Structure formats: C-alpha cells, structure tokens
Amino acid sequence: MSGTTRISVAGEQPYDVLVGRGLLGELPGMLGDRVRKVLVVHPRALRATAEAVREDLVAAGYEAVAAEVPDDEDAKTAQVAAFLWGVLGQSSFTRSDAVVAVGGGTVTDLAGFVAATWLRGVKVVHVPTTLLAMVDAAVGGKTGINTAEGKNLVGAFHPPAGVLCDLAALETLPTNDLLAGMAEVVKCGFIKDERILELVEADPQAVRDPAAPVVRELVERAVRVKADVVGRDLKEAGEREVLNYGHTLAHAVELVERFAWRHGAAVSVGMVFAAELAAVAGRLDGAVVDRHRSVLGSLGLPLTYRGDRWPQLLEAMGRDKKTRGDLLRFVVLDDVARPTRLEGPDPSLLVAAYTAVSRD
C-alpha cells in the first residue's frame, strides 16, 4: 500500500483527500490558478512545519503569510477567529485568495470557519497533522468554534478545496493524541466498517506505531466512511448524524471539564455510554457493549467518566445540535454497522447508562 491514495468526496464542489507521504507538492494544485494570497494558519507546536509550507508557497509564486494560533481548544474561540479576520483584512485578502490550515482538528475547525466567514466564503485547503484531523475534522466541511455554553456552537458548513493527509506528520504526534484520533477511527468501525474493528482487535499494539501499514489502512478506511456519508448529506439533514456517534455525552464532558479532556478521549467514553444506552433500551446485545470496552480499552482510551456532574452534563446535552426542543436525541446502534437514533429516551434509561460508565 505505497504511493498516494486519492479519495473523492462528492457534493456541489467535489474535492479530493490525498493520503500518503511527502504530499506538500500537491498544495498549489489544490489551491488552483486564481489564488494569489494564502494565509497559513498553524498552532504554536507546528511553527517550523508551517514556515516550511509558507516558504514553499512563496517559492511557487504566492504571497503567503503565516498566522500562529494557540494549541488545543484555546484556538477555537471568537477572539482567535477575530485575530485571523484582522490578519486577512490587513493583508487585503480578496474572494479569490485562500486559507491553508496546518494542524490538528482545532486548527482545521477554526481556519475553516474563518475561511467560511471571510467575505462570506473563501477557499480553504486542509493539511491535517493529527490522526484525528486526517480521518475526521479536515474532511466533510464542518467548521466552527466553541462558546462558553458549549462545543462547536458557532460554525458553518464549508467544504475544503482539498485535504492533504501526509502520514509523516504523525511521527511527531504524542501517542496520546494518536490514540485520541483512534477513537474516531473506531467510531467509523462501529457505525459503518466492521473491518476497522477487526484490524484493531488483531493487533492493538501495532496501531500505536504511526509508521505501521495498519495505521495507513485505518486512515484510508475511516476517511472513506466519512467521505461516503458527507458526500450524500453535507448539511446533516439526516444520515450525517451517524458520524456524531458518542458525541452527545462527549461534548458535554469536554465542556464540564473545561476542555481538559482530549476530544477523542471524550468520544471514547461517549461511545461506551451510547452503547449502554442502546442496551438498556433493549436495542443492542450486551456482547456489542463489551466489544466497545475491549476495543477502546485495548487502545488505552477511557471507558469511564467519574466526574459526578450528571445535572451539568444533562444541561449541556440539551444544547447538542441533534436536540429538537426538549427532545434529546442520541445516535445508537442496533448492531455493529447498524446505526439508528433514539429520541427522547426515558430519563431512567439515561441514568442507567450513565451509572454504567461511572463505575469500573
């Protein structure tokens, strides 16, 4: 499995996700002929990588400026977005100019949102550098920032012009960030592609090595799951909700823990919660719940949340985007690769599922 893999995402403006190594030479092709100015947005941790990207763009004839943003969720704020709008304004970026995001999901979400809103929409190309951003955040066009009330509450659907998943970037990524990305990969396994689960189960240790061939196969499989779904339902009219598996509780945990939890870690507990909820609602076999614990546990991902903050979590879940009026809605499974929705579950079921994830 060498060379570059091209995965196309359908839609009004189709685009490609490239997976391979040494892909930066593809950036001008993705930006297209009309772009003159490029804003390279990057976190502090990737200053050197972003500078190399900027220099390549200048050598290719672009006027390229770099803007550094905070690491982690501190990047996804209205203040940081306003800082980037300021840079675009001061550099007189027009509608034919572009933004390039070099970083993890926080940076692709932020830069994508800034691109969606600058002059009501300019081109963005994503260069994801975390596993999570490669398989999930950079693909599909969901962009956004957080507010004091919750995760991703302000945003826009703004698909990129292209995505470059250069697997070499994973070699500097801390293992806990790699494993957090694996939570979203495993999510794709539970909702659509059971082969992903089998690959992790076959050798959970190999999955921790970013250079292992299995990691590339997992990236490609997860990107295909996402590309397939968002190609049919960009704006989450229905099917796309399945990509939110585990996220109803996960986003609430992230909020009440003031973003001290990695997103992927919260999604791991969120999926165990969703599996327990489906089981107590009589929809899912206990063996599949156990499989959640064994696959996610084999990757060292958290299976429990002991914060003792149920009322705050319930309030935060009320602001989830799947909620309709007073009706909480959860993505649950009837079986592996058979996702469905559970609407307005009895509060006793929620408490039972929460109790099950609050203990060992």
Ligand X SMILES: NC(=O)c1ccc[n+]([C@@H]2O[C@H](COP(=O)([O-])OP(=O)(O)OC[C@H]3O[C@@H](n4cnc5c(N)ncnc54)[C@H](O)[C@@H]3O)[C@@H](O)[C@H]2O)c1
Report the binding-site residues for NAD(+). 129-130, 142, 151
When binding is defined by CB under 6 A, the residue of 20, 112, 140, 339 that contacts ligand LNCXM5UN is 140
Q: Under rule CB under 6 A, which residues in 307-336 are in contact with ligand X?
A: none
Q: Does 158 bind ligand X (CB under 6 A)?
A: no
Burial class for 326, CB neighbours closer than 10 Å (0-12, 13-18, 19+)? exposed
Residue 160 contact among ligand X, ligand LNCXM5UN, none, beta carbon within 5 to 8 Å by kind: none
| Strand residue runs (E) in the chain | 5-9, 15-20, 37-43, 63-69, 98-103, 123-128, 142-147, 150-157, 162-166, 329-335, 338-343
Query: Which residue, 37 or 224, has its beta carbon nearer to ligand LNCXM5UN?
Result: 224
* Distance separating the N- and C-terminal Cα atoms of the chain: 40
Q: Does 152 bind ligand LNCXM5UN (CB under 6 A)?
A: yes
| Euclidean distance between CA atoms 11 and 9, whole angstroms | 7
Binding-site members for Zn(2+) are 184, 247, 263
Query: Which residue, 254 or 276, has its beta carbon nearer to ligand LNCXM5UN?
Result: 254
Q: Does 104 bind ligand LNCXM5UN (CB under 6 A)?
A: no
| Euclidean distance between CA atoms 20 and 234, whole angstroms | 25
Binding segment for ligand LNCXM5UN among 2-10, 17-25, 204-212, 238-246 (CB under 6 A)? 238-246
Binding segment for ligand X among 20-28, 126-134, 278-286, 312-320 (CB under 6 A)? 126-134
**Closest by Cα among 157, 145, 181, 147 to 240:** 157
Burial class for 54, CB neighbours closer than 10 Å (0-12, 13-18, 19+)? buried
| Euclidean distance between CA atoms 298 and 203, whole angstroms | 9
Q: Does 262 bind ligand LNCXM5UN (CB under 6 A)?
A: no
- Answer yes or no: 226 catalytic: yes
DSSP annotation of 33 reads S
* 327 residue type, one letter: L
* Residues labelled as active-site residues: 120, 142, 184, 226, 236, 240, 244, 247, 251, 263
Q: Which residues bind ligand X (CB under 6 A)?
A: 43, 45-46, 71-73, 76, 103-107, 109, 129-130, 132-133, 136-137, 140, 142, 152, 169, 172-173, 177, 180, 184, 263-264
Binding residues for ligand LNCXM5UN, rule: CB under 6 A, are 136, 140, 142, 151-152, 184, 240, 243-244, 247, 321
